[in-house]
Structure 1
Amino acid sequence: MAFAELWERFSFYGLQSILAFYLLDALSEGGLGLPAAAAVGITGAYGGAVYLAQLLGAWAGERLVSPHALVLGGGIVIALGHTVLAVAPGLLGLGIGLVLIVLGTGALKTNITSIVGFILASESAAKKDAGFSYFYMAINTGAVLGPLTTGLAQNQWGFHVGFGLAAVGMVIALIQYVRSARFLPARASEVINPLPAATLRKALCIAVAALAVITLAALSGLLKAERLSMIVTVGTLITSAVYFTLILRSENVTTLERRRVSSYIPLFLSSALYFGLLFAKFTAISLLVKSRVDLSIGDWSFPVGWITMISSASGVAMLPVGAAIWKKMGARQPKAATKFAIGLVQIGLGFAFILVISALFDGTTIPFAYIVVFMFIMGSSEIFVGPIGLSLATQIAPKAFTAQMVAINFLTLALGSSLSGLLGQYFTAVSNNTYFLSLALGAVAAGLCLYAFRRPIHRSLYAGIGS
């Protein structure tokens, strides 16, 4: 399970690290030569669509197909998607490859986590923690190795070789997965809550209708690259509103549970904003690197795909530090809204730092070392938001909607990804200094506002469960 998940994360982060540059680079440089607004729109929409697809995959793994089958099928589709990207040129190959990867990741990601839970279901709490620690280590390993190797391959042999690496790794992982399938618990091959026949027919009709609408929109020109991030953002907001409405209006939710979920809404929005700023490394910062950063180190050029790895690696490195600090502080540690506020202020200060650097080197290239510092400030801020949001969602979830609250937490990533595409398009419309000033002020203001209202939020957020 861990090896398959490693290659899924390798796929996602490796592709994200070079996607914008592939879209931006001229045809003579091996890219597609798209306008900047279109390039960041596609990049942001791709990230958002991957997270949205995971919600559909989680539902399918519970109601339609067994988790085991979905993980196997999802891995095959991911490998096919990367193969298409590796061998098929032009926008058509890009579109087919990205859609396959989105669908495959949606099928694999949540269901492989469910299977790990099935495997460890009868183990002690200590063994469960150890098992999930190995699994999470695989996630982090893939998140770092993806940009590291994909970026190097792209730098040495071109984009298509970089795209193909994940296909090779996923095929190897699938071979091991199939050989190990006999050790999986029976529950992994069962549909836990299958849809009744009548409901299944209704679901299929809805799916066919949705596919028809998407096809018509594509043929009519509504799904232009520049609009994709906005479309995914609106879709994510609608999905989030439906989830919150479903929970808050349910008769199975108590008054205290409803109060906790309501107080989570400002944190949901704050988290989405935070991830929109963090994922700007895939969009606006890619544009900055492309146009203004000197990546030369002597006779060697630093791979562009490694830029995002600096942020991811700093986040991974700081996670055990953050965990140790929270453990040592115990009950004295800041509560969720305070941590979110700190994360927003820190990432805002990161944009303030790059604003100063941009102004100092106005009209000239920015030395690479300053981008490294900026990426470390951004990546290390994630300890205040990412793991805290996931933990909070499990703490405050109503008993009848535990899975749905975890899904809502993942929607902050989907919304942040698509928002990063919109922020990237904003980058193309204003000066660099105006952009960085806007994001710095916005992030710090949002963090301070959240901090100012932390006490009433916490009173409702932890009502009935303590802190």
Structure 2
Amino acid sequence: MTTHPSTTTSIDTDQSAPRRGGLPRGVWTLAFTELWERYSFYGLQGILSFYLLYALVDGGLEVAPAAAAGIVGAYGGSVYLAQILGAWLGDRLVTPKSMVLWGAVVITAGHIVLAFVPDFLGLAIGLILIVLGTGALKTNITSIVGFIVEGRSQQTRDVSFSYFYMSINIGAVVGPLSTGFAQNEWGFHFGFGLAAIGMIAALIQYLVSMKNLPERARIVNNPLPSRRLPMVIGIGIAAVAVIVIAALSGVLRAENLSTTTTILALVAAAAYFITMSTSKQVTADERRRVLAFLPLFLAAGIYFGLLFQKFTAISIMITERIDLSIGGWTFPVAWITTASPLAAVLITPLIARLWNLMGDRQPSPVTKFAIGLIQIGCAYFFLLLVSELAGDAFIPLALIILFMAMAGSSEVFVGPIGLSVATRIGPQAFKSQVVGLNFLTLALGSSLSGLLGQLFTLIDEPTYYIIVAVTGAVLGFALFLTRKPLSTALNSGL
């Protein structure tokens, strides 16, 4: 491993130089790598719920809806919970460049297992590999983007991360479109195979671009003293042993996986916030920024819990209340969830251009979060209205797609802005790990969506939609009312 003192602040000037469209050089390269990685991830995610829910005769595993929601929520939560481990390794033991490379290799192996190994054995091995590999890749590739835009204006950072985030959503669109079609025509394992091909493309793209990464991607920012390495290895072995024993003894079950993952995400987040706010390496201004980030962290976690219901509660609703027959052809079920990231992709260039035009007059990050939460709350009010008007009849396919678009387009106000804020406000001693902390919002959101999916199976639809809609709207208005003091604290010392 390559090490470097933690006080290093230099950046690769070639990578930070402006390029076509005003974006720093290197952003597009990593964006395309991320596009293919997200193609594979969301290509799998788009059909995973239905693989669990569908009957054996239809190629599925015929899992009960509540258990399926728990598995999907826990899987998504674990993927993002693993970002904390990946961020720590990329900060203390292995260079970010190498973490991304080996993460891509492990993810590729996981998708190949899903494609070729049937039933629950292939599902378990494949998902575990994808969780571990994504943990290594995601935080570190985002940190590298942060290195590229370091020292640039908030406007340039927001625009850069908006386009980087757009690449994520392009992958999230194209992935389920292709895997959903393959699953619809030839079966689930063909869909898993396409996801594997997408991951191979991500690996090739990254290998080609590795030589052009900024210098900070090639160093360990805060190397772990060698005397502490045996202790770290021991803790890792003990953690794996606890998980294996819990699974074999029946303590961990499909029905409580989401609850367990949610608790772990909250505990990990609390540990990070406490560590950063009490560390002697953190200045007073840095501590003020970290504490101001806490409300945004919680808001983002709840937001993603509402958004990711497309993989849990909404997937269950689709299997029960949507007629997919169009003439003699069946509409691929995964295509419905694709409307969500597609809407985000289409609106991102417009919003990014608006932020550019507004310059310093654009809304603060807190206000952007508030807009996103209010919008997704309104989307669920729309779904409530549609459900009530339909009664016991099937809900028209076009209306559920419209709902997906309304909910999905709100992500541009939360996802990329959270990434931008995290890479900007983090204490110098915890730069990479703050990015991992930000990804915990996705862990919290994914596991929360599993819990919400289980709640969906227990109460009536109108009550459920009211709870979700009011949560989004009220939280959004609360952030809007507190935008000024939070914004002041987030900019402390900057």
TM over 0.5: yes
SS at match of 2:274: helix
CA distance in 1, matches of 2:420, 2:213: 27
User: One-letter code of the match for 1:266?
Assistant: P
Write out per-residue CA displacement over residues 262-299 of structure 1, whole angstroms, 9 at most, x where no aligned residue: 22222211111111101111111101111001222222
TM-score under structure 1 length normalisation: 0.91
CA distance in 1, matches of 2:67, 2:290: 37
The 1:251/1:455 distance shift into structure 2, 3 A limit, reads same
Offset of residue 104 of structure 1: 1.3
Offset of residue 326 of structure 1: 2.5
TM-score under structure 2 length normalisation: 0.86
Match of 2:441 in 1: 412
CA distance in 1, matches of 2:219, 2:425: 29
The 1:309/1:199 distance shift into structure 2, 3 A limit, reads same
Match of 1:275 in 2: 304
Match of 1:91 in 2: 120
User: One-letter code of the match for 1:392?
Assistant: V
Match of 1:340 in 2: 369
Match of 2:414 in 1: 385
The 1:454/1:181 distance shift into structure 2, 3 A limit, reads closer
User: One-letter code of the match for 1:275?
Assistant: F
8 Å CA contact 2:162–2:417 kept in 1: the answer is no
8 Å CA contact 2:162–2:348 kept in 1: the answer is no
Offset of residue 312 of structure 1: 0.3
Write out per-residue CA displacement over residues 227-281 of structure 1, whole angstroms, 9 at most, x where no aligned residue: 1111111101011001111111122333333223222222211111111101111
CA distance in 1, matches of 2:160, 2:386: 44
Tell me which of 223, 230, 237 is aligned to 2:252.
223
What pairs with 1:260-339 in structure 2 (closer than 5 Å)? Answer: 260-339=289-368
Aligned length: 465
> Is 1:151 matched up with 2:186?
no
Q: Which moved more, 1:229-238 or 1:112-121?
A: 112-121
8 Å CA contact 1:41–1:422 kept in 2: the answer is yes
CA distance in 1, matches of 2:363, 2:144: 33
8 Å CA contact 1:17–1:307 kept in 2: the answer is no
8 Å CA contact 1:7–1:166 kept in 2: the answer is no
Offset of residue 120 of structure 1: 8.8
CA distance in 2, matches of 1:342, 1:128: 20
- In structure 1, the gaps of 5 or more residues are none
Write out per-residue CA displacement over residues 413-435 of structure 1, whole angstroms, 9 at most, x where no aligned residue: 11111111111111111111111
The 1:191/1:440 distance shift into structure 2, 3 A limit, reads closer
The 1:128/1:435 distance shift into structure 2, 3 A limit, reads closer
SS at match of 1:39: helix
Match of 2:21 in 1: none
Tell me which of 431, 451, 459 is aligned to 1:430.
459
8 Å CA contact 1:233–1:415 kept in 2: the answer is yes
- In structure 2, the gaps of 5 or more residues are 1-28
8 Å CA contact 1:4–1:170 kept in 2: the answer is no
> Is 1:47 matched up with 2:97?
no
User: One-letter code of the match for 1:346?
Assistant: Q
CA distance in 1, matches of 2:321, 2:46: 18
Write out per-residue CA displacement over residues 185-242 of structure 1, whole angstroms, 9 at most, x where no aligned residue: 7875655544333211000000011011111101110110111111111101011001
CA distance in 1, matches of 2:446, 2:374: 19
CA distance in 2, matches of 1:51, 1:153: 27
> Is 1:72 matched up with 2:98?
no
Match of 1:440 in 2: 469
Alignment RMSD, CA only? 2.9
CA distance in 1, matches of 2:287, 2:453: 36
